[in-house]
Every structure is written in C-alpha cells, then in structure tokens.
Chain A
Amino acid sequence: MFLPVEKKKPQPIEVKQSDSPIIGRWQNIGNWQFRSLCFAIGTTAANFARPNPQYFWLYVVGIAIGSLSLMLVPPSDLKYQGLWRTAGAALLMGALVTWWDLLMMLQWWHFAGFGVGAVFTLFAIGSGGNRR
C-alpha cells in the first residue's frame, strides 16, 4: 500500500461496438434452436434405448453424462454459460419425456426417496466442502 507504485498512463478510452437488437434477436433464435436440438437429441437417444435393452444403460449413462457435462462444464464465455446449462436440462427433459408411459408408473415414495436422497447428497457435499 505504501510502496511506491508506478503510475500507469491513462489508456485512451476504447469505444466498443454494442450488439444491435437485430443481432440480439438472431442470437435468441439461435439459443432456442440449440436447446431444441439438445432436447431432440435426448428424445432420440431415449427412443433408440427402448427397443435395445442390451444397450439400455449405455444410453442412460450417455444421456446422464451428456446432460451433466453441459450443465456442469459450461464454456468460459459468460454469455453462453446459461445457454449450456439450460441445454443440458433440455437434453435430460427430452429423454425423460420420451418415457412418459414408464413415468406414469412412479409412486409417491419414488419422489420422496429422490427428495431425501437429494438432501443427503447436498449435506454430504456441504460437509466435504468444509473440511480443512
């Protein structure tokens, strides 16, 4: 704080170009196309998994890894982080929606068990994070 600090010369203010509403609109359309694409991939993967029981878990794992990768490993550009997370969710949703006939068979305790498991997982993650 008290050490002599070399004063930097003030840099000239660079005027940056801001995106116009037209570009924003096309960016928005492109984003929804990307989410829809991921949703379609999830749907198609689930559709291919049903008639091939021997590869069932392969597809399930593939979908899970794909969606988690999109959600948890987004690009460094902040502009696209939200897009990739929602795209990962769309992939998972697509896969689940395809199995609508199987989802109808779920009971209340399946959801309760999922909730409890989620809470325990969060707790475990939290306690692990505090360890020094």
Chain B
Amino acid sequence: MPESKPILPKTVGLWTRPDSPRLVNAKNIFDYMDGAGEIYLGYCFDHLEAWEFESRTQKAILVELYFMKTADDAFGLLSLDWGGEPVDLHQSPQENAGSVNSFLPRALYGEGLLRIWSDAIYARVMAYQETPESKEAVLTLGRSIVKGRRNPQAPNLFQSLPDSFGSDWMLLKERATFFRSHLVLNSLYYLGQENMLDLSLSSEAVTSPYERKDAKGKKRIQFLLVRYSDNKHASQALSHFHRAYLPEYPIAQQPVSSKEMASVFSVEDGWMGYKLRDNVIAFIFECPDQETAKTIINQIK
C-alpha cells in the first residue's frame, strides 16, 4: 500500500485550520525551533508541516507533521520517550493490521500532547491548554493523520534487542530508543562531547538500560548496539571510540581473518565491554564486575 498524505479536516470541534501550513525544511528548521531542530536533523528528516488550529474561545492546537525519509526514523522520534497514555487511533481492526510487538504503542497522549508514529510520519498534536474539548479535537486530528496509512514494523535493529541477558538482566522496554546521531545518544546516555562512535545518518543505533533486581536493590547497565554501512566503517569507529574513551588501554589489533573482536575494560563506573562483528558493534556499560561484562558480551549474537 503506497503511503498516503494525511488530510486534516478544515474544522475540528471549536478549531479551524488555515488553508496552508507553515513549511519547514532542514535550512530553516532552527528559525522555527532553535536548537531543537538538531533532534530532527539527527534523523533522516525531509520536511515539516506546521498547522495552527485556532478557536475563538479556547487556546490554539498545533499540529506538526514531520515527514521523515524512512519509517524507521519516524519510529525513532517516538521512541525518544515512551511515556504517556497509549492510544489506539485506528478505527477498524483492518487498519491496525501489521502492528509491531504488542508492547510498542504507535501513539501516546499526555496533558494535551499527542505523539504519533505513522509510517514515515512522526506527528505532534498539541493543545496549548488541555480541556475536554481540546483533548477530543487532538484525538480526532490524530485519527485523521493515521487514516489509511501503513503500519510498518519497528526497525530490525530495535527488534534485535534481547529481552534479557541471562535470567538476571531485564530489558527496560520503556527506555529503549532507536537513533542515528551522537547528539541523540548523549541525550539518552552521555558518553562524551565528541562523535567518538562516528555516528551518522547512514548508521543505525539502539540503546536501552537493562535492570537486575535482587535483595540488595536494583542495578542498571546500559546496552548500546550500532550498525554501520559496512565493516570498514565499523572497524574504524571502534578504533576511534577506543582511542577517545579508553586511551590507557592498548587497542587490540583485529586479526585479518577474524570477523569478531571482543574485550572488556575496567573504568570508573564499573566494567564495560564491546564486541565487533562484521558491521555491528555492541557495547555494554556499568557492569558490576568483569564476569558480568564478559558474560553479556559473549551472549551477544
């Protein structure tokens, strides 16, 4: 089914839209939203349509349609925050066909803001003041945005996140994120100012904490998986990371014949490890001991 462009109603409840939206592209996105534009440019962004629905009696509703170049990128933007109340905007079971893992909502609502992943569109529909009328209008607009559109799967790399490492370390699904940019990574898990992993729009990454609960309390470790366009980029990125982050440790030379290299290191916040295989690097941070780091690294397929 080809992707269809959403058609927003002219009037919804007490609100009416203008005839045309404000158009924002990569060149003028900072005029529209200052530094927040970096979030969208950190994904494969095409353009944004912004519509302000006005009412004579209530505050405006802003509809932002972010047209991304792939469905993965629209998914990534929603995955930046899984908080809020999941809502089903589809009006029939047929429309909802092709849904992804059941734990992943496609739309989330909270205090006037509805965020939607719909194929290659990420949408924000925000009432400047939440009222019963504005909530209904926001959800109606959400339904018009998703109507007749595809429901692709979550990115493969995201789906490859293990539910657990061993029987102890459980994936915190509500904190798992798909991204491409080191700026986004730093907003999720700060590694350093430099782009030491050589992330770019041609790379894909997912990160999530894993949690262990026992009688002593809970402990979290951070898992990061990056897939590069080819093996050479992955190998170079690992060298760059190692030089920047682990300067006191000599970097192991990868045997030419080997497709895999794994190491663990003691750093200030525990043990970390990485594993390079082909064009993918897996990292684990903040392990409580060397054994845990080794076990997890060896478990990564």
Are A and B genuine complex partners? no
